[in-house]
Amino acid sequence: MSQSAGLAFEQAPPFALPLRFFLSAPLFLIFAGLLIALAPDALASRWTPQALALTHALTLGFLAMVMLGALMQMLPVVAGSPLPALRWVARISHLALALGAAALIAGFLTGKAAAYGSGIVLLGIGFIVFIVAAAVSLARAAAGVTVNGIRFAMLGLALTILLGVALALLRAGWWTPPAVASAINAHIGFGLVGWVLLLVVGVAYQVVPMFQLTPPYPPRLSRWLAGALFALLLLHAAAPLLPPVAARIVDASLAAGVLLFAATTLRLQSRRRRKLPDVTLDYWRLGMASLIASVAVWIVAQAWPAWADSDAYPPLLGILFIGGFAASVVTGMLYKIVPFLAWFHLQAQLQATAGSIPTMKDMIAERWMRRQFRLHLSACVLLLGVPFWPQLGIAAGGVLTASALLLWINLLSAVRRFIGHGGGLA
Ligand code: HEM
């Protein structure tokens, strides 16, 4: 915590700015749960309109929403370089991301060109504003392994958005980009591995040792892993131009890099100094176990073509990677970031002395975070069965909705405590 505690108050963004991202994200997760419960066939195949809507409710509405809010908060701390024009960047990117994700989801569900068009314009504006501001901040940033990971993740995000816009133009019937199958493949690779995983990797170097009191990541690994994974992703995107054996080596190396990160993280967590129960730690462990399971499911598909061609394989991979890995790690982080910010801004605003305001641990009741974790875990387990037995979707979606609702209530309870003790959001 040393770096965060040493952060000058004037340098930190006002609480309201990242908070709007963190409080909007669970609403998209609630929507995703309802969609699964109401349309259990959604996960019968990856190409159903509901599956594509669900994917983007999770990747844009939940994951990107939290990740942009967290970056806004982290850049001044880990890179020593805040986003320029912070208030404007936060307001525009938050509104454009929320409305744009809703429009794109509506586009997938209705097939209406106007909905796709609104999604393209809004998401395009929101992400361009954020990426340009982050690029300025990162260009001025002090070098380090976390900053390095964030740089590659932002490149991954930019490529994902570019390809996503091209694919949405295709769906709207306005343009046919060349090599559509490769573009979809590259969009998924840069989106899930380039953006989501590389950001988690970069942030893990900082927060796993800091929050979970583990030894640091081995410097040799943290120096090269993000760059190597990004280079492999570029080769993966160019796979149609490579000899088949080279493409297989690239994919196998990507899988090995992902496994190495997950296994190292679990090993460091098992060597943590204080073995006290901690919901964030459980979320990270679930995330790493799901990441390993998603690589295992992928390996089976390489060896067994009938499984690779089945309708169940892509949704299962998506559930493990997006739900089990990414959503778990991001939720675990929310449970550290929001209580910390509530405490930090309260003591800075009130110039409070220890004992006169709630501690970070008092901001959200531990037992309610734990209940929410159990609901999330149950939702993940139930979801694994949905590609095989769609009827299970009603229960899985119901539990996911309850879990997301409780997450939202838990985050709101920290804000209520903050305001109740005299904190101001204006
Ligand atoms: C930033 C995060 C994003 C991630 C992680 C992401 C992820 C994905 C994934 C995993 C799929 C495949 C779904 C499946 O196989 O069922 C997909 C498809 C798609 N994405 Fe995204 N996406 C992102 C952003 C966007 C944006 C901003 C747009 C448009 C403005 C977009 C438009 C599309 C379209 C149109 C498809 C369907 C391709 C087709 O079948 O024609 N995505 N995305």
Q: Which of 15-24, 344-353, 383-392 has the lowest mean pLDDT?
A: 344-353
pLDDT exceeds 80 at position 70: yes
In terms of average pLDDT, the best of 175-179, 353-357, 374-378 is 374-378
| Average pLDDT over every residue of 215-242 | 97
Question: 187 C-alpha to center of ligand 1: Å?
Answer: 7
Question: Which of the residue ranges 74-83, 246-255, 283-292 would you say has the lowest mean pLDDT?
Answer: 74-83
For residue 264, tell me if it sits in a domain. yes
pLDDT at residue 80, as a whole number: 85
Q: Model confidence over 115-162: pLDDT tens digits?
A: 999 999 999 999 999 999 999 999 999 889 999 999 999 999 999 999
Hey, what are 385's tokens? Answer: 């069965």
Residue whose token pair is 């550290």: 336
Mean pLDDT of 66-87: 92
Q: Is the CB of 188 under 6 A from ligand 1?
A: yes
Note whether 40 and 386 are within 8 A (CB): yes
- Contact in structure between 225 and 254 (CB atoms under 8 Å): no
Q: Judge if the beta carbon of residue 194 lies within 6 A of ligand 1.
A: no
The ligand 1 atom nearest the CA atom of 168: 35
- Does residue 173 surpass a pLDDT of 50? yes
Cβ 233 vs Cβ 294: under 8 Å:
no
Please tell me the predicted confidence (pLDDT) of residue 6: 41
255 belongs to a structural domain: yes
> How confident is the model over 23-64, as pLDDT tens digits?
999 999 999 999 999 998 889 888 899 999 999 999 999 999
- In whole angstroms, what is the distance from residue 250 CA to residue 266 CA? 25
Q: What is the Å distance from ligand 1's center to 196 Cα?
A: 13
Return the pLDDT at 355. Answer: 78
Ligand 1 touching residue 126 (CB < 6 A):
no
Q: Does the C-beta of 97 come closer than 6 Å to ligand 1?
A: no
Q: Choose the residue to mutate in 97, 121, 188 for probing ligand 1, maximizing ligand atoms within 8 Å of C-beta.
A: 188
The reply to whether ligand 1 has any atom less than 6 angstroms from the CB of 315 is no
- Position 61 in a domain: yes
Question: What are the backbone dihedrals phi and psi of residue 341, each rounded to the nearest 5 degrees, phi first?
Answer: -65, -40
Q: Whose CA is nearest to atom 20 of ligand 1?
A: 164
Closest residue by CA, ligand 1 atom 27? 161
Residue 425 falls inside a structural domain: no
- The finding on whether 58 has its CB within 6 A of some atom of ligand 1 is no
> Is the model more confident about 273 or about 385?
385
- Looking at the predicted structure, is the pLDDT value of residue 1 above 90? no
Ligand 1 atom with the shortest distance to the CA of 184: 38
How far apart (Å, rounded) are the C-alpha atoms in residues 261 and 288? 9
Say if residue 346's pLDDT is above 70. yes
390, part of any domain? yes
pLDDT for 379 beyond 80:
yes
Instruction: Look at residue 3 and tell me whether its pLDDT is greater than 60.
Output: no
Domain range holding 395? Answer: 2-419
Q: What is the pLDDT of residue 5?
A: 38
Segment among 67-71, 102-106, 208-212, 274-278 with least mean pLDDT: 274-278
187 lines ligand 1 (CB under 6 A): yes
> What is the b/e burial string over 372-390, where b = at least 16 CB atoms within 10 angstroms of the residue's CB?
bbebbbbbbebbbbbbeeb
Span 175-192, average pLDDT? 95
Confidence of residue 79 (pLDDT cuts 50, 70, 90): confident
CATH of the domain at 177: 1.20.210.10
Query: 């943590």: which residue's tokens?
Result: 272
* pLDDT given at position 353: 74
Among the listed residues 218, 221, 295, the one whose alpha carbon sits nearest the alpha carbon of residue 253: 295
Q: Count up the domains in the chain and report the number.
A: 1
Residue 424, in any domain of the structure:
no
Read off the pTM.
0.96
Residue 2 clears pLDDT 50, i.e. is over it: no
CA nearest ligand 1 atom 37, residue:
167
Nearest to 142 by CA among 3, 308, 32: 3
Phi-psi region of 12 (alpha: psi -120 to 50; beta: other; left: phi over 0): beta
CB atoms within 10 A of CB 306: 8
Q: Give pLDDT, residue 275.
A: 83
Minimum CA distance residue for ligand 1 atom 14: 46
Which ranges of 80-144 would DSSP assign to H, the alpha helix? Answer: 86-110, 113-139
170 alpha-carbon distance from chain centroid: 26
Question: What is the mean predicted confidence (pLDDT) over 11-27?
Answer: 94
